[in-house]
Amino acid sequence: MTKKPLIYIFGHKNPDTDSICSAIAYAELKKLLGHQAKPIRLGKINKETEFVLNYFGLPVPDYLPTIRTQISDLDIDQVEHLSPQLSLRTAWDKIKSTNIKVAAVVDENKKLQGIVTLSDITSRFMDILSNTEALKVTPLKNILKTLSAQLLVGSEEQFKPSGRALIAAMTPDGMAPFIEPGDIVLVGNRKDSQLKSIEAGANCLIITCAGHVNADVLGEAESNDCVILRTSYDTYTVALLLNQSIPVEIVMAKDKLAVFHINDYIDEIKDEMLQSRHRAYPVVDNNNEIQGFITRYHLISKKDKQVILIDHNEASQSIDGLEQAQILEIIDHHRIGGIITGSPIYFKNEAVGSTATIIAGLYLDFKIKPAASIAGILCAAIISDTMHFKSPTSTGKDRYMADKMAQIAQLDLDKFSREMLDNSS
């Protein structure tokens, strides 16, 4: 089942009691009708409103300075999180199944270290000559996993290769001059070739085709801190796979990354994204923890925030960035201003003394009894905006709805009105 979008409900800037309380009450009605709704405020509340909310035990709505679309509003792509030491082979397997062909390289705390793409990995596969330095920092566990190999002698601590990898394809005496201390040597089951490689200072022997290794070769390797591992792969395959064991941190992009924050505004990052050729951009939070990736697709498919305007209908009185939002409804009791919407909306405007009067009426229309606290703040908002029914704009409907809400909230209107007046200054 698709989750309904969150609807932001708010009154005007410099909010009064009617603006705040009507937004809270209408958000609650929307929730009861099955919507996701959140009341917000566009400014600091006054003392009267603070008294009313405290009296009925309701929290002050969160302050929201703008309704502009942020990255956090988008359904950005979730990608694989890779350890810097992960092999290229494993990274390839993880990335190739994703839509955007990119992954985030993170540390143990999920903090972004870099990004890697399929093209980064394939470029490294083709650039064999540059892999010498990379093999120096390749963990033994990567090679064991990539080659599906068995460790016969040695440990991770003893694996300290120079970075060169050679194939023992000639006679033992003929290959000795080519082997240097620290080399990785790919060798078959020939005992003399195995011993000669150890004697020449090889740091690691990779026995291919599941070749046999005699006990005296194992002993010689132990004496010379030479690591020996054995794999069932043939020599050609091992030569190809060895480069795939290189850690992903070698190929990841980490310098001059275009990184966006989860709370960045779309209109501020759009130009940078459209002018760049990058496929995707990492998104982080305040702790530099990766939150996902944003692509150009998200810019063209974004959905604006949904809003309902309460107690106002003019853009100058409303939230900043309103032009980027989708206005669903307007409920007001003032003159009709100049807001233009992109599609038809529900617009309820009545000549009454308070927007809370209209909201209270909607509860009755839907045959929903508000909670005592909601009825209480609606009653307070009506009293406030009609100046206890003495305002020229006050109507009989205001009095009727105030009485209805007071009955639910079990309020004495006159007594409560005096308390509000005493606490409004």
This prediction's pTM: 0.74
**Residues 282-304: tens digit of each pLDDT:** 999 999 999 999 998 888 888 88
**Which amino acid, 113?**
Q
Residue 158's pLDDT band, with cuts at 50, 70 and 90, is very high
* Overall residue count recorded for the chain in this entry: 425
**Residues 393-425: tens digit of each pLDDT:** 999 999 999 999 999 999 999 999 999 988 887
Q: CATH homologous superfamily for 6-69+307-422?
A: inorganic pyrophosphatase (n-terminal core) (3.90.1640.10)
**Which amino acid, 422?**
D
326: nearest Cα among 340, 312, 337, 336: 340
Contact, 17 vs 385, CB < 8 A? yes
CATH of domain 73-125+250-300: 3.10.580.10
Q: What is the mean pLDDT of the chain?
A: 92
**Residues 26-61: tens digit of each pLDDT:** 999 999 999 999 999 999 999 999 999 999 999 999
d(CA 360, CA 358): 5
- Give backbone dihedrals phi and psi of 204, rounded to 5 degrees, phi first: -150, 135
Q: And the tokens for 363? A: 């509860």
Q: Mind giving me the DSSP string for 106-150?
A: E-TT-BEEEEEEHHHHHHHHH-GGGHHHHHHT--HHHHHHHTT-E
Chain centroid to Cα 380, Å, comes to: 41
Mean pLDDT of 72-99: 90
Q: Give me the residue spans of the domains in the chain.
A: 6-69+307-422, 73-125+250-300, 139-245
**Residues 203-229: tens digit of each pLDDT:** 999 999 999 999 999 999 999 999 999
SS3 39: strand
Look at strands 102-106 and 184-187 and give their pairing.
unpaired
Is residue 10 over pLDDT 80?
Answer: yes
Residue scoring higher pLDDT (124 or 5):
5
Q: Where are the alpha helices (DSSP H) in 147-295?
A: 172-175, 191-199, 215-223, 235-242, 266-275
Is residue 314 over pLDDT 90?
Answer: yes
The per-residue pLDDT for 128 is 54
Is residue 1 over pLDDT 70?
Answer: no
Q: CATH homologous superfamily for 139-245?
A: HprK N-terminal domain-like (3.40.1390.20)
